[in-house]
Structure 1
Amino acid sequence: MSKFSIEAFVNETKENSQEKDYFELEKPELLEINLNNQAVWTKAGSMVGYVGNVNFERQGMLSGGLGNLLKKAISGEGTKLMKAEGTGRLYVADNGKKVRILYLENESISVNGNDVLAHDQSIKSDIKMLKSIAGVMAGGLFQVKLTGTGHIAITTHGHPLTLLVTPDAPVFTDPNATVAWSGNLTPELKTNVSLKSLIGRGSGEEFQMKFSGNGWVLIQPYEEVYIVTK
């Protein structure tokens, strides 16, 4: 059999039937969710395929209470979720980004709204806004705080780097390259005026997120620009 035959191609790229974890990486950029008469929240538009009996329901504007209505209305596709429920294998992905699976044990994590791919129904999600107009200009305004016990999946462009935050060594990041951080941290938005005057208003580097205390911050080797939709 030729190594370029269709049979060889199928054998090389077919799913791994030996692994049946609830959340598992079928490929570095492809998450497989094995549903057994249960529900999971996934990023709207992330479904690329499924096998079995799975139903989909888009998150309503009022889900989670009236307090989230305005935030969901203006935060764009990056923070809209879709409920998948049933029995079968669900495959989700996001523009070829790397997928990382985490298991929270009564813990919380904050994630850039555009980088949440999926999470257990048992995980509570709440959209947070940085209270600064600089966040709008830098594209890093909306985050999702995930809290509870269960699986979550986040995405990054390329291989991420974790920076440790200590009281004597705060961490500064570009909002467009910041993916996630430990739930106990609350970032501040800073404006570097001298840098702004040097490189002009069109660049995002004049805005920085400052993390202080004890924790960690996950960054990616890519500055992602987020488009807010009406």
Structure 2
Amino acid sequence: MAVRTLSEFLSSTREKDLSADAFELESPHLLEVRVNGLVWAKAGSMVARKGAVKFTRQGILEQGLGTLLKKMVSGEGLQLMKIEGQGRAYLADAGKQVTLLRLAGESIFVNGNDVLAFETGIESKITMMRRVAGMLSGGLFNMRLSGHGIVAITSHYEPLTLPVSAQGGPVFTDPNATVAWSGTLTPEIVTDMSLGTLVGRGSGETLQLKFAGEGWVVVQPYEEVTFQAKG
């Protein structure tokens, strides 16, 4: 990379104000949130702030007793925080790429570890895949996001969206590489012992997610080990 003068560096890395939305990408890996009230974000994701902004860890019962019980049973590590007040907060998650999605009444499912932030117009609910208990240590929990507003999700490197249709047949993915999928799909855990050690080093090798129906699924070119198969 060519050497830059100090003024060139400051100019090229200065924060942008190109959008009127509350969420704006300052870079592919850094999200700026213009806080005017309340925003939910992944706990520990703040890298900088300015203005009268307060951060509060999510209360133990703020998402309901059912969510609390799921976290207790699964050991789910996802923690949210409230960002409140007037000002700006800058969020990132281990250098992962940030993608902004505007929901207009739709619903999506996101791997709990890949939720970075969402506006208050978005409803969130932790869900667990059926038939998963006993197969994966810690279970396989995700977050259902629906409503109206902007959602920020993360991925390692550039994500890929695969269409799912009855005509094209089911799509199978590595659970540790699966980022999100449409609210119209209900994946199930399947095993394929014939794969041996050829696929999915981090997900127990033979465990996969099967998506069938009509919708889409987003994968990343990286296996993020957030849960493991019981051996």
- Which residue of structure 1 aligns with residue 39 of structure 2? 40
In 2: Cα distance, 1:186 partner to 1:160 partner: 20
**Which letter does structure 1 place at the counterpart of 2:86?**
T
User: Which shifted more, 179-188 or 12-21?
Assistant: 12-21
- Which residue of structure 2 aligns with residue 142 of structure 1? 141
In 2: Cα distance, 1:17 partner to 1:84 partner: 20
How big is the shift at 1:140?
6.9
Segments of 5+ residues of structure 1 without an aligned counterpart are none
TM-score using structure 2 length: 0.88
In 2: Cα distance, 1:219 partner to 1:202 partner: 15
How big is the shift at 1:166?
0.4
Does the CA-based 8 Å contact 1:134-1:207 persist in structure 2?
A: no
Judging changes above 3 Å, is the alpha-carbon distance between structure 1 residues 135 and 102 closer, same or farther for their aligned structure 2 residues? farther
**Which letter does structure 2 place at the counterpart of 1:190?**
V
Identity %: 54
In 2: Cα distance, 1:147 partner to 1:75 partner: 24
How big is the shift at 1:202?
7.3
- Which residue of structure 2 aligns with residue 31 of structure 1? 31
In 2: Cα distance, 1:218 partner to 1:110 partner: 10
Judging changes above 3 Å, is the alpha-carbon distance between structure 1 residues 203 and 215 closer, same or farther for their aligned structure 2 residues? closer
**Which letter does structure 2 place at the counterpart of 1:178?**
T
Does the CA-based 8 Å contact 1:20-1:34 persist in structure 2?
A: no
**Count of equivalent residues:** 224
**Which letter does structure 1 place at the counterpart of 2:11?**
N
- Which residue of structure 1 aligns with residue 87 of structure 2? 88
Segments of 5+ residues of structure 2 without an aligned counterpart are none
Judging changes above 3 Å, is the alpha-carbon distance between structure 1 residues 208 and 202 closer, same or farther for their aligned structure 2 residues? closer
CA RMSD of superposed structures (Å): 2.4
In 2: Cα distance, 1:221 partner to 1:12 partner: 29
TM-score using structure 1 length: 0.89
Partner of 1:94, secondary structure, is coil
How big is the shift at 1:95?
0.4
Residue 100 (structure 1) aligned with residue 82 (structure 2): no
**Which letter does structure 2 place at the counterpart of 1:189?**
I
- Which residue of structure 1 aligns with residue 114 of structure 2? 115
Does the CA-based 8 Å contact 1:188-1:209 persist in structure 2?
A: yes
